[in-house]
Amino acid sequence: MPPASTGRQLLDADEARVARASRELTKIAAAMVSRPMDRDLHEQMRGFLARESEPALASWEVLLARTPDELKERISTVLTAQALRRAS
């Protein structure tokens, strides 16, 4: 899928899905450190696994399959778009 070039989106669908999943899992994991037996946190984790885990893992596989040149191109594209936004 081509990268989103309009609006606020800089990431393509797979990149955005992996980023969202990473943020959500990090938030849950951090909360589990201080509240390991919190039923709500366990429910959040189960909900994440049921709804988002497989799509996020599939997107992760897509990202892992990219060549170094593809990754460099994506990094360049995102950094350029960010710089242009800041300049405007």
Nearest C-alpha neighbor of 59 from the set 15, 11, 26: 15
Residue 1 has pLDDT above 80, yes or no: no
Residue 5 has pLDDT above 90, yes or no: no
The DSSP output letter for 66 is: S
Would you say 14 and 63 are in contact if contact means Cβ atoms under 8 Å apart?
A: yes
Please tell me the pTM assigned to this model: 0.79
Nearest C-alpha neighbor of 62 from the set 11, 2, 15: 15
**What's the pLDDT tens digit per position in 8-44?**
678 999 999 999 999 999 999 999 999 999 999 999 9
| C-alpha distance from residue 68 to each of 2, 3, 50 (Å) | 17, 17, 32
**What's the pLDDT tens digit per position in 39-88?**
999 999 999 999 999 999 999 999 999 999 999 999 999 999 989 989 98
pLDDT on residue 8: 63
Amino acid identity, residue 11?
L
